[in-house]
Amino acid sequence: MAVALTIDGVSKSFGDTVALRDVSVDVEPGELFFLLGPSGCGKTTLLRSIAGFYTPDTGRIRIGDVDVTRIPPHKRDTGMVFQSYALWPHMTVFENVAFGLQMRRVAASDRKQRVEKALEMVRMTDRAEFKPAQLSGGQQQRVALARALVVEPKCLLLDEPLSNLDAKLRLEMRSEIRRICKQAGLTAVYVTHDQKEALSVADRLALLHEGVVQQVGAPREIYSSPCNRFVAGFIGETNFMEARVAGIDGDTVVLDTPLGRLASTRSLPNGFGSGASLTVSIRPEVIGVQEPPANASRFSGRLHDTIYLGEMAQHLVDVEGLAGDLKVYEINPRFMARDGAVETELWVAPEDVLMLEN
């Protein structure tokens, strides 16, 4: 049965370096939960604290109903998958997967049945007698997953498991890891710095920066409604610009920006009103270059460069008064700029103009 994971007020320092600052996160039973952030943000420290490799300076960690904060790693009922696979080179796939069960003194008959089940789950039954050197990177990662699953952990912990794979294998293994976790009914915590990995696989995620949780939510929520400038800039691409609140008309906020006057139906930051200065965030893909809807804010610019990608074009647009280029992504592109600038009319809908504190 899947269990909940509760991280309550966890802080951790290494000398003068603060790795985690009062981190609190609740992971639901059976949830595939991601810890996302740049290098040095504290995500791996938090994962290793859950595993028991680090003891928090303050706070508590609970797996199910058990406070595991000071319980050693081998008594926590967790399974760990490392980015380096950490397979024994002299053992077969079967022996690698069975190793943890041997250490737990599981009977040989039960051990065989559980290893076969784990290998079937990761689709490696036909490689049971192979050595790690005979396997591809993706196959080795499947074996590492099977080794973690076979001990029937209450919580599966994955530390950047796909970082050593090539791009094609990473895409394949993303869906495989989700399938395996859901099939096994596991509560899983997955560390990555790869935004697309987190957005495409996670049920929910926590974004960390300098040891502090910035935002927790479903991928779509965090992408479309980031709580601050760091989150908006880290998750995907966006255009930032300074703006001033020119007025408020019912549910619509009118903004003076370098693009001209824009309307927004998004929420103002708490305490902000008419005359306030703030930051506007507009994703490249929400800026239109074709027929605008009636309520859209319109502006013009010089489209001076295009990267054509087939189904999409990435445009760079020079807008007078805006520092730097405006990034615009066009699906099923019609506009191109290769050998000179093209004057073009652009637009953005009010629901896509996000307002953030400076």
Q: Where are the alpha helices (DSSP H) in the chain?
A: 43-51, 93-103, 108-121, 137-149, 167-184, 195-201, 219-224, 229-234
The pLDDT tens digits for 186-199 are 999 999 999 999 99
Phi-psi region of 301 (alpha: psi -120 to 50; beta: other; left: phi over 0): beta
Residues 225 and 309 in one domain: no
Over residues 53-73, mean pLDDT = 96
Residues 243 and 178 in one domain: no
Q: Which among 232, 255, 278 is the end of a domain?
A: 232
Residues 179 and 79 in one domain: yes
Mean per-residue pLDDT over the chain, rounded: 92
Residues 182 and 96 in one domain: yes
Per-residue pLDDT at 339 exceeds 80:
no
Residues 85 and 202 in one domain: yes
State the CATH number of the domain containing residue 147.
3.40.50.300
Per-residue pLDDT at 343 exceeds 90:
no
How far is Cα 266 from Cα 168, in angstroms, rounded to an integer? 37
Range of the domain at 290: 237-356
Domain count, the chain: 2
Q: Which among 204, 232, 260 is the end of a domain?
A: 232
- Secondary structure letter of residue 286 according to DSSP: G
State the CATH number of the domain containing residue 347.
2.40.50.100
Question: Which two structure tokens, joined as six digits, stand for 68?
Answer: 């595991």
Query: With bands split at pLDDT 50, 70 and 90, how would you rate the model's confidence at 336?
Result: confident
Please name the residues in contact with 224: beta carbons below 8 A apart, sequence gap of 6 or more.
Answer: none
Per-residue pLDDT at 1 exceeds 80:
no
Q: Which among 197, 232, 267 is the end of a domain?
A: 232
Residues 206 and 253 in one domain: no
Over residues 313-322, mean pLDDT = 92
**Residue 233 CB coordination number (10 Å):** 14
Residues 259 and 339 in one domain: yes
Query: With bands split at pLDDT 50, 70 and 90, how would you rate the model's confidence at 156?
Result: very high
Residues 222 and 286 in one domain: no
Per-residue pLDDT at 340 exceeds 80:
no
State pTM to two decimals.
Answer: 0.90
pLDDT at 337: 67
Over residues 306-316, mean pLDDT = 91
Over residues 298-309, mean pLDDT = 91
The pLDDT tens digits for 234-291 are 999 999 999 999 999 999 999 999 999 999 999 999 989 999 999 999 999 999 987 8
The pLDDT tens digits for 136-153 are 888 998 898 899 888 889
Query: With bands split at pLDDT 50, 70 and 90, how would you rate the model's confidence at 338?
Result: low
Residues 220 and 261 in one domain: no
Question: Would you say how long the chain is, in residues?
Answer: 358
Over residues 317-325, mean pLDDT = 92
Residues 29 and 172 in one domain: yes
Residues 248 and 347 in one domain: yes
Over residues 167-193, mean pLDDT = 89
Residues 20 and 168 in one domain: yes
Q: Rounded to the nearest 10 degrees, how much is the dihedral formed by the CA atoms of 215, 3, 174, 221?
A: -30
